[in-house]
Every structure is written in structure tokens, then in C-alpha cells.
Amino acid sequence: MPKHYRPPGKKKEGNAAKYMTRTKAVKYLQVSLQDFRRLCVLKGVFPREPKKKFEGNHKTYYHVKDIMFLAHEPLLEKFREMRAHGHKVNKALAKKNKERAERLKAARPTYKLDRLVRERYPSFIDALRDLDDCLSMVHLFATLPAVEREKIEVSRIHNCRRLSHEWQAYISRTHSLRKVFIAVKGIYYQAEVQGQKITWLTPHALQQVLTDEVDFNVMLTFLEFYETLLAFVNFRLYHSINVKYPPILDPQLEALAEDLYALFRYFSASSRAQVLENQDLSPSQPENADLGSVGTEGDESDLRLAQLQLQLPTNTPGALMQLVEKAGVEDTDDDETRECKSLFKNLKFFLSREVQRESLLFIIPAFGGVVSWEGGGAPFKETDEGITHQIVDRPSQGHMFLSREYVQPQWVFDCVNARILLPTDIYAVGRVPPPHLSPFVDNEAEGYVPEYAEKIKRLQAAARKELMPMPGLDIEDIEDPQNILVAGVISRTEANEAAEEQRKISMLQNQYHDELNMEVQGVPYSASGVHRTMQIPVEDTESKKETLPDSELPVNEEIMMSNKKRKLYKAMKMGEDKKKNANKLLEKRKKMAEAKKSA
């Protein structure tokens, strides 16, 4: 008799009834494994872990409900239709009926994924929450070359580029970018949209390496869904700021591959148009003004006719940027957005030819700066007097304007992360810039603070010195800029309340210490509970100092723990030790490096 014998007629029970192995699922659905994979990817169905793996440990298990969910999917029927269609084409070709084959090929069944997007993400917030992978993937494909043999089509690459630029334009426009980080893998961005922190990675804007280890079928299936998702997300986001989607871009700028800038212009133009529409009741006047301005500005590229009727192209990019800002002043801005918006306010950047443009064109406007570059379609020239910073990534700079600062690109990234303007001298041309630190690491929790992070902290503290110290805060607290960050946000009255609370907390802490004392002093464990009261005599705190050293004696509590707890304890200790060792290693390396430098 087999191990799990089930008499005939008796239903399956437990895990065997709830879960299904992949092979069985494929058989049940009567699809090929490839189609099953595609379905799973598109529907977001993933394997689940049953409590008991009844058919072996090495198998993947799906929930029966998930499989039923797939079985009722209209897409499944569509896949079958496509398969049948393929057969028809093959048959026609085999019968040398080219005409029919052509006709069939033209009428290939297609499907749409919008319903799936809605189904997987019932609310918009859900979609935003899961957007990380989507953005990383779309940004990656935006930099890939179209490869015929891997079925990566040019149109899809272009679509990815367009979507990524639209997303970046939105983020930049709403000033919701929070953190940026240049890693070896690419550039990480973190934005906050509707309270959701969205992190994504864009590869460095270079030729990507194509490897054979990658199965593009799977990636393209993912991309298919992600493209749809991002398009709808962008639509919704644009809708939320009253901009028409899909945007109509200036063809000349598009041809110059300045999509992002073209998008900015589109934004500003549409917002301007709105402002004008609100101001003027007669719609004919702005139209006339539009046409006139286009006529006068010969150098300015023509916008499309449809655009012209609605929007107002601007004469100078400086005015444009101001327009963007004017439109951006909305009462809904939270403090962080306000802070981000004003970081590069009144600064004018110019990117040298060798600087990687994409990321900086995205970041600088996101933090309120104005930027131009060397090349076609640039809003202003290098000789512009108003430029305050020129970003240079070359060993030496020949001609230098005295009126502006020459910095390496890392300066922008570090400023953004520190939220202050850092001194530019250490980022000067030809120098090795200071270490670029990750904004995603909580140094305090990690237990190791790099030297440059401390320096930045001091600079931040200095920049905020005008802030009055809050009541209830000690000097130590002021030194800790995070406290100030928090404190800076809340108003004075709130601060008072906070101080009150802090006092309470400290009271409670004292009480806790006293209770500890009680235990230490020898009130037996069981008895101490009876004696415990809220009023603790003051003299207890004095006796604390005498009794505390006793607790340092090694108490062998470990053998009193249950097996489970002991193992958990050991595992936790191991993790702590690992962290400590890593930090020790860092300190050791630092010492060695310093010794080398001095020697």
C-alpha cells in the first residue's frame, strides 16, 4: 500500500487538496509550459509554500485557487486562438497559398492587458507600491539595442524610452525625487509618490552587454505587462496634474533625442495654457499671441498645430522654468517637497559635452534648478552670464569663466542627498572627489559612520544653525541632525508638546531602571511583583550605582532557555556578531589606509 493511500471515492484533504504541483497544473490547464509561464507572469500568479510538501521537496506548488483563477482567464482562450492561428498560417504556407497566409498574418489575434492591470492592482496605490521592478525593467530596456534574433523590436525599445521619460518628467515636475545614488550597477533613484517610496535603478547610459544566459522570452513577457502598467500609471499621474496624456512632443527636440526636455516644455506649455485660460475669458487672444511669438522667434522650433491651439510656447527657457515653478506652487505641497524644490533655486547649471546628460537633466530640474547643455535644442549657451555652476567631467578645463563654479557631476548627487549646497572646492575639476555615500543606509543602525558622512552632518548642522533649539532638547540632541530634521518640521507649539512628552518618556525610563534595580537588589522575582508600585523612592536611584556592577557577573541563563529560544538567541547573536565583525573590518581597513597615507 502506498504511503498516502486514499480509498477511492474519498476526497483529498489538507495540503493535497489545497495545492497542486506545477506539472499537474499545466496538465489541468491543457497549455504548454511556455504558455503557462506567460500566464503566470501576466496574471501575477506565483507558487506558494504548502505546510507539507506532499509530493516532494524539489517541486513547486501552486494554490488550487490560483490555478482555477488561471483556468477562467479569457487570456487562456486567446492563447489557444493564437496557437490555432499559427497552425492556419503554417497550413496555408504548406499548401503554397501565399495569399491566404499573408491575409491571415495580417489578422493575427491580439490581446490587451488593461483588464489584468486593474485586476492585479485594484487601487492606484497598489500599483504604485509594486512599481519598483517595473521601472527598473523599463529603464533597462530603454538603453538596450534592438536585437532581431532575440525579438527585441525597435518599437518596444522606443516605447520604453518614451515611458521612462514620461515618468521622469512627472517626477521632476512634481519635485518628488528624494534620493539619488550612483552605484557601479547604475544610478538609483528614490521618489515619493502619494506617500509611496519608489526606488528604481537606471543603467549607466552606455552600450549594454548582452549575454546568452538570459532568456529574453521571459523578460519580454514581463516587459509587456510592465509597459502597460507604466502607461496607465503615467496616464493617471498626468491626469492628476491636469496634463494631457499621451504628451505631444516637439518633433525637433525629439529628433535631437532631447525627449525629456521636450516633455518639460510640454508640461510648462500646458500649464501656461491653463493659467491663461483661467485668466482670459476670450480664447482668441492667447492664440494670437502664440502665433505672433512663433513668428518672431525664428530659432524656436515649431510645435505641432494641435499643440499651438492649446498651448503657448515660450520665448526663453528661463521664463519657461519660471513658469514651471509658478505652476508648481500648489498648496498641497508637503514640507519635504518644498525643501526639495528650493534646493537648487536660482541656480543655473550648464552641462559640458562629456557629462552624461540623462540623469542630470532629470535631477537638476527636480530640485528646482535650471539646466542647459552643449548641443542642439539647448535652452541657453555656455556663454550665458547667469550660469552659476558648470558641470564638468574631464581632467582639466581650458577656459574658465570666473563667474561660475566648475564642479564634477558627483557634487549634484551629494547635494541632493544632503539637501544642502556642499562646498564645491573638493569637487573641483581634476580632483578625485570625496567618497560618494549611499543615502539608503542608516549609518546609526549599521553601527559604522563613514568619515565623509560625519562631515556632511556637521555641514548640515551648520546650515540649520539659525534654528532655535527647542525646549526639552539637550545639546547632544542638537548635534544629532536627525532630531533637528524632525524638530524643524514641527512648529513651536508642537515642540512644546513634544518636550512634554519627552519628559514623560524620560520619567518612564527612570522608572524602568528602578524596577531593574529592584530585581538586582534581591527582591525575589515572584515577590517583587507584589511590591512594585508607581511611586519609587528617590534613594533607589542612588543605590543603583552600587548594585549595577553585580549584574555584570555572568549568569548562565542560556541553559534555562527552551531549545527553540536558545537557537533563536544564538542565531540573533550570530547576526549581531556578523555585523560587528564587518564594522571591525571596515575600521581596520581604514586604519591601514591612513597608515599608508601617512607613510
Partner 1 sequence: MKMPKKNDINNNKKKRKDKENNKQQDQDYKLELELEKEPIQQQQHVFVLVDENAFSNHNNDQEEELEEEARVEESDSSEDEVGPRNTIGDVPLEWYKDEPHIGYDITGKKIIKLPKKDMLDSLLATADNSKNWRKIIDQLNDEEVQLAKNEIGLIQNLLRGKTPHPDVDPYAPYVDWFEWKDSIHPLSSAQEPKRRFIPSKWETKKVVKLIRAIREGRIKQDKPKEEPQLYLLWGDDSNSTEKSGHGLSYIPAPKPKVPGHEESYNPSVEYIPTQEEVDSYQLMYEEDRPKFIPKRFESLRSVPAYENALKESFERCLDLYLCPRARKKRINIDPESLKPKLPNKKDLKPYPSTCYLEYKGHMGAVMSISVEVSGQWLASGSTDGTVRVWEVETGRCLRIWDVGEAVHYVAWNPVQERKILAVALGHDVLLLNTGFGDEEEQQKVKELLHIEAAQDPDESGATSTVSWVQYDKYEGVRLRHPKAVSKVEWHFGGNYFSTVMPTGDSRAILLHQLSKKHTQTIPSKVRGLPVSSVFHPSRNTIFIATKKSIRQYDLQKKCKLVRKLEPGVREISSIAIHPAGDNVIVGSHEGKLCWFDVDLSSQPYRKLKCHKKDITDVAFHPSYPLFASCSDDCIAYVFHGKVYSDLNQNPLIVPLEKLQGHTSTNGRGVMDCTFHPRQPWLFTAGADSVIKLYCH
In the window 190-209, what residues touch partner 1 (CB under 8 A)?
Answer: 199, 201, 203-204, 206-209
Q: Shortest approach of partner 1 to residue 492 CB, angstroms? A: 35
Distance (Å, whole) CA 285 – CA 276: 10
Helix axes of 154-174 and 317-328: crossing angle, nearest 10 degrees: 70
Calpha distance 37→41 (Å, rounded): 6
The answer to whether residue 433 forms part of the interface with partner 1 (CB under 8 A) is yes
Looking at the Cβ atoms of 538 and 559, the one nearer to partner 1 is 559
List the x/- string, 157-196, binding to partner 1 by CB under 8 A: ------------------------xxxxxx-x--------
| DSSP annotation string for 465-516 | TTSPPPTT--HHHHHSHHHHHHHHHS-HHHHHHHHHHHHHHHHHHHHHHHHH
Query: CB under 8 A: which stretch of 3-11, 112-120, 283-291, 532-540 binds partner 1?
Result: 112-120
Task: Taking the CA atoms of 305, 306, 311 and 316 in sequence, report the sign of the dihedral they define.
Answer: negative
Of all helices (H) and strands (E), which one includes residue 370?
strand 370-373
Spatial neighbors of 57 by CB under 8 A, at least 6 apart, are: none
Give residues 550-589 in contact with partner 1 (rule: CB under 8 A): 550-551, 553, 555-561, 563, 565, 568-569, 572-573, 576, 586-587, 589
Question: Which listed residue (28, 254, 257, 450) binds partner 1 by CB under 8 A?
Answer: 450
Question: What minimum distance in Å lies between the beta carbon of 265 and partner 1?
Answer: 21
- Kindly state the DSSP code that residue 404 receives in the 8-state scheme: S
Burial group, residue 45, by CB count within 10 angstroms (0-12, 13-18, 19+):
buried
Q: Which amino acid is at 582?
A: A
Is the Cβ of residue 478 or residue 523 nearer to partner 1 in the bound state?
Answer: 523
Among 147, 218, 507, 548, interactor with partner 1 by CB under 8 A:
218
Supply angle C-alpha 441, 442, 445, rounded to 5: 130
Q: Which of residues 146, 275, 441, 478 is near partner 1 by CB under 8 A?
A: 441
Min CB(373)–partner 1 separation in Å = 15
Site for partner 1 in 42-101 (CB under 8 A): 44, 46-49, 60-61, 63, 65-66, 68-69
Site for partner 1 in 381-410 (CB under 8 A): 393-394, 408-410
- Taking CB under 8 A as the criterion, the residue among 31, 136, 166, 265 binding partner 1 is 136
Taking each helix axis as running N to C, give the angle between helix 154-174 and helix 131-142, from 0 to 180 degrees, rounded to the nearest 10: 120
Asked if 416 touches partner 1 (CB under 8 A), the answer is: no
- Binding part of the chain for partner 1, among 1-9, 163-171, 364-372, 513-521 by CB under 8 A, reads 513-521
- Strand, helix or coil for residue 199: strand
Q: Which among 414, 417, 448 has a CA at the least distance from the CA of 434? A: 414
Q: Which residue has the cell 577656459?
A: 399
Q: Which is nearer to partner 1, 2 or 122 (CB)?
A: 122
Q: Which amino acid is at 593?
A: A
438 sits near partner 1 (criterion: CB under 8 A): yes
User: Can residue 512 be called a binding residue for partner 1 (CB under 8 A)?
Assistant: no
What dihedral do alpha carbons 460, 463, 467, 470 form, nearest 10°? 20
Q: How far apart are CA 120 and CA 114, in angstroms?
A: 10
At closest approach, how far in Å is the CB of 476 from partner 1? 23
| Number of chain residues interacting with partner 1 (CB under 8 A) | 120
Q: If you ran DSSP here, which 8-state letter would residue 206 be given?
A: S
Q: Phi, psi (5° rounding) for residue 269?
A: -60, -45
Shorter beta-carbon distance to partner 1: residue 155 or 278: 155
The only residue of 211, 284, 383, 598 in contact with partner 1, by rule CB under 8 A: 211
Tell me which residues in 346-365 interact with partner 1 (CB under 8 A): 354-356
- End-to-end CA separation in angstroms for the chain: 78
| Residue 28 in contact with partner 1, rule: CB under 8 A | no
For partner 1, the binding residue among 77, 126, 280, 302 (CB under 8 A) is 126
Q: How far is the CB of 484 from partner 1 (least distance, A)?
A: 23
CB 236 to partner 1: min, Å? 6
